[in-house]
A = this chain, B = another copy of it.
Amino acid sequence: MFLIYRTFEEFRKHPETVELNPDEVQHLKARRIEPNTEIVVCDGRGRTAPALLLRESSGRKEQWSCRPDYTRQEFVDAPERIVYCALPKGSRVDLILEKGTELGMTRFVPVEFERSVRETYSQERAERLAMQAAGQSRRRYIPVFEQPIGLEELLSRIEGSAEACMFLLLDPSGRAAVDLLPRKRDAERTIRSHAIVVGPEGGITDLERIAMLEKGALPVALSDGILRIETAVLAGLSYLNLLQA
């Protein structure tokens, strides 16, 4: 199955044909996918349509496109897996974007904690990396990439989410993660939305910690070692895969 991603807005307009970009064509060819086979167009939010792959040649130039069949649309609901984290330096952000998408991250929100190193990231680049990763792991969701927020905003989201989303603060001194896992899988599980919060490398301050717990975040210890930001995020997302299984 070969997946391509278009924005929610673009998909919603139901274009009759969708042109493939050079990256997509390269991947198609690497996987030896032939014209007139079916691929899948995704809106990145769970909605997909099968599409007939087409190739037009004029001389040495070729143009690949596909024609979606919107009457055969599907929608896959996925549990929310939200990442709030201090931005690590450089290429370590890319790791979160790529591997996080593979592990089902649905939203990425950098947080500026007191001890955060001030870093920025490109949402555009994030989306490109995420689309590649989603294609390879056949995910129907592309994470929403937000601009950095401050502690106040994070606190108000923890408070505002109430019972709808469980916020897990990854913290070596927290409760053993294994104790939080459901005893058996429960078809009527009510919480389908989880967020993990990962502090900066220097650690969160006591005040930050207390404020988050007061608003309802749950401190959870995932590992018997000290994890860097990006490793903690991936371990946290692996954990959500179990928690939401």
Contacts and interface: CB of A to CB of B under 8 A. Distances in A.
A234 B99 CA distance: 10
A102 B104 CA distance: 22
Interface residues of A, number: 37
Interface string A60-102: 0000000000000000001000000000000000010001001
Contacts of A120: none
A181 interface: yes
B235 A222 contact: no
A222 B238 contact: yes
A231 B95 CA distance: 10
B178 A223 contact: no
A204 interface: no
Given A183-B183, A234-B99, A238-B238, A138 B178 contact: no
A227 B102 contact: yes
Given A185-B176, A234-B99, A241 B224 contact: yes
A241 B226 contact: no
Contacts of A191: none
A223 B95 contact: no
Interface string A217-228: 000001111111
B178 A245 contact: yes
Interface string A96-116: 000100111000000000000
Interface of A: 78, 95, 99, 102-104, 136-139, 176-179, 181-185, 222-228, 230-231, 234-235, 238-239, 241-245
